[in-house]
A and B are shown apart, each in its own frame.
Chain A
Amino acid sequence: MKFTLNIWRQAGPADKGRLVTYQAKDISPAMSFLEMLDVVNHELTLKGEEPVAFEYDCREGICGSCSLVIDGIPHGPDRGITACQLYMRRFTDGATITIEPWRAKAFPIIRDLVVDRSAFDRIMQAGGYISVNTGGAVDGNVFLIGKDQAETAMDAASCISCGACVAACKNASATLFVAAKVSHLALLPQGDPERTKRAKAMVAAMDREGFGSCSNQYECEAVCPKSISVRFIAKLNREFLHATIAEPGPFTEAPADPHDESH
């Protein structure tokens, strides 16, 4: 098979960037989309041109490194997969394919198709955890968690932090990502003690990083490689409301009593 590729090239964050056309020849239908790019890069290198930088690692759809917008759609035309799980037999021989990076203010471009997604890590650091120390955990069966509840938590937890939801959103909102993370822990009894604090901290971190707001277009769900439902966004909204209205803070301000043990 052969293809005409329009690939985004950008030497660095300061560079303006542009689409450059390449020809991909002798492509086997059994190649993955990334292997097709490997072939292009191989030929560029032999010609003395710098290869296209793009992100990959596990190449089996779980590490979340892939970040290609293929013909305008994050991860390409098929639902429920990452770009590395896309195979060339999916395309028509001779087709023109446009390949761009994730585009969002909070994901600055590092080079070509590689973007900086550390904003996601900072959102996680703001509260995406249960603060328990190592050691001294109670037996795992002390928490009884019904199968349905465990499965729903698992649905949310299957997020691979790829950022396709942000790339697909016209507002570059990270709401589905934050919703998945908040819901995963809010659905489990272990996550309950820090539930309100977590929802507030993660939403605040999302705003701080420069992601946009959610306007219910559901583009995020459509491109999510793990098919995470927008119903988790509703769950996030409930968690956030609960955190800000129902439990705005402690009943008493910091006591000045010198016998208070926390001092």
Chain B
Amino acid sequence: MITLDSKVPSGPLDSKWDRHRFSEKLVSPSNKQSIGIIVVGTGLAGASAASTLGQLGYHVECFCFQDSPRRAHSIAAQGGINAAKNYQDDGDSTERLFYDTIKGGDFRSREANVYRLAQVSTQIIDQCVALGVPFAREYGGQLANRSFGGVQVSRTFYCRGQTGQQLLLGAYSALCWQIERGQVRIHPRTEMLDLIVVDGHARGIVVRDLVTGEIRSHTAQAVVLATGGYSNIFYLSTNASGSNVTATYRAWKQGAAFANPCFTQIHPTAIPPSEAYQAKLTLMSESLRNDGRLWVPKQKGDVRPPDEIPEEERDYFLERRYPRFGNLAPRDLASRAVKHICDEGCGVGPGGYGVYLDLSDAIGKQGLEVIQERYGNLFDMYQRITGENAYQTPMRIYPAPHYTMGGLWVDYNLMSTIPGLFVIGEANFADHGANRLGASSLMQGLADGYFILPYTIGHYLATTKSSPIGPNHPDVRAVKERVNDRVGRLLRGRGRQTAASFHRTLGHLMWDLCGMARHEAGLKQALERIPALREEFWHDVAVLGSRETLNQELEYAGRVADFLEFAELLCHDALHREESCGAHFREEHQTALGEPVRDDAGFSHVAAWEYVPNSPPVLHKEPLLFEFVKPSTRTYQ
């Protein structure tokens, strides 16, 4: 039976973290040398945590499934990273970043966590600069900022369109130093397949070496999961092909509560899908909405090319629905408006999955040169992918699954409901509530890894006595056995369908029934269809090749199998949350104008789900108390 104790310190908001750090016990430097910690994942959260823990003197074993830690999917983040530096003197502050984040999350996150995030945000920038991250600079040499994600201050730091890569290279270089010093041992091409729990404490993981196929156990005093999000449950998303839910899902099955899985963010401006074998949706920077206007033909099924549709026959639907914010309406509202208008039959392009993002007004007013300088690379990318010249004909865009706010439940110390299992970055549920603001995921990953976990894990290690366990401990052997059986079962698959085709079917099902807009009947239908699809998978999947070599089909099939189980949990959560908040929109809960209706009396809680073998997951609620801010209704009309 799980108990949820958030361990949020009492007292004034702005001194909670300082007081908490002082009350935490420390591990003596000489003892650190004999303590081993496992870190799974080497994105921003994992790499920054592993390097900092190594620097503190712990022995760190660090794992990633990619061939190099530098390729984790944080690398693909484009826009930037927020910090309350107030370098622009435009009224930013820790309080304002805190309030923007908690409001952006539609009041479904913990005040204390979000405040701490805003507090450490400024340190992150300093740390990254010290590591050599080449942030954009002004002519005078100072750090440059831009405004991002619909907030009123300029607090976003950036490195061209590849902020994620540069921040990750900073964390990766710090990791390289600790590897050179012998404090961190890196295990690339190694995938975590299960968690080892001994006497109720997380004590290790079982992995598969993706080159030799060897199934190995690794034990330690604590385990840190930094394994990212699960947007790939929708098959088509902006995530990397390898991004998956396996590590967090396996931990859930070992007793870690999973919180708010239905909070999945859909990004409004991706290039629309064009053919059946498409493997990925490419994001177009949201900044295009600063100068572009979204429209569709007023008439359903209008097949005329866009330049033949006169102005009065166009529906600028965001400007119509949200006159105050127009084309800059927040991500969740913009995405839903696009889907809504396409569902009504007004969409354009293949299958009617798309709306025009038109920059011709801006080109007319500001000149082609200005627009070219600002967005030239995006126009090039669009042309490469679609073969269309967007200077001549408007771009088409469609929403794409992008980020998952839900994740394993953690307390203020970032520890899950399994003692000794810590979860950081996108893999936990903590800071973004029901919706994440732009440029906040990089901030959270690095805050957790550099500045929060290294403190809080120390207290756990200082106050927990653990006896050494070796590879022959019965609990370790049992988990290894379980993993071996599962790999063997997958390899017996000699059916007629590939893992990819099951993934595609699941993705369509989830997108239709548990995507941007959800309703009770649809969710119940999904809950009936998923087990059947899972059964079909185990009967009819084809997994070729052997266990002892690099076998990408085997890796992929294992991840799809976990998505097929996890999908049910996601639907249970969406069904339980009978309100519309942030990225979660229940069609039953909307105003006559189609705006979401949040229910604070009934749902101001974190929904944390417990795994129970052979029965539906059990819900536990962590009430969200707002001591310092008053939940308001987000209105953008």
Contacts and interface: CB of A to CB of B under 8 A. Distances in A.
Interface in B70-121: 70-71, 73, 75-76, 85, 87
B468 interface: no
Nearest to A59: B280
A154 B134 contact: yes
B440 to A, nearest CB: 19
B439 to A, nearest CB: 16
A57 B240 contact: yes
Interface string A21-42: 0000000111110110011001
A156 B140 CA distance: 21
Contact of A129 (B143, B177, B282, B386): B177
A121 B68 contact: yes
Interface in B300-317: none
Interface residues of B, number: 81
A60 B78 CA distance: 11
B139 interface: yes
A116 interface: yes
A132 interface: yes
B451 interface: yes
Contacts of A118: 67-68, 188
A153 B138 CA distance: 14
A85 B142 contact: no
Given A38-B500, A125-B180, A130 B173 contact: yes
Given A38-B279, A58-B75, A62-B162, A188 B132 contact: yes
Interface string B377-396: 00001001111000000000
A128 interface: yes
Interface stretch (A92-100, A142-150, A168-176, A247-255): A142-150
B174 to A, nearest CB: 6
B240 A134 contact: no
A134 B455 CA distance: 12
Helix, strand, loop or mixed for chain A's interface? loop
A34 B132 CA distance: 34
Interface in B138-179: 138-143, 159-160, 162, 164-166, 169, 172-174, 176-177, 179
Contact of A158 (B85, B137, B162): B162
B244 to A, nearest CB: 11
A137 B123 contact: yes
A34 B176 contact: no
Given A129-B176, A150-B135, A154-B160, A143 B71 contact: no
Given A62-B164, A87-B385, A111-B550, 16 more contacts: A12-B549, A42-B500, A50-B545, A58-B71, A62-B165, A63-B66, A118-B67, A121-B186, A125-B179, A126-B180, A138-B126, A139-B126, A144-B140, A146-B137, A147-B141, A154-B166
CB-CB nearest 7 A-B residue pairs = A144-B141, A129-B173, A137-B130, A137-B126, A140-B129, A150-B137, A59-B280
30 contacts: A30-B274, A30-B275, A32-B279, A45-B498, A45-B542, A51-B544, A51-B552, A53-B550, A57-B241, A58-B73, A58-B241, A60-B282, A60-B283, A85-B384, A87-B387, A116-B67, A125-B180, A126-B180, A128-B176, A130-B130, A134-B48, A137-B127, A137-B130, A138-B126, A140-B85, A144-B141, A145-B137, A146-B137, A154-B160, A188-B134
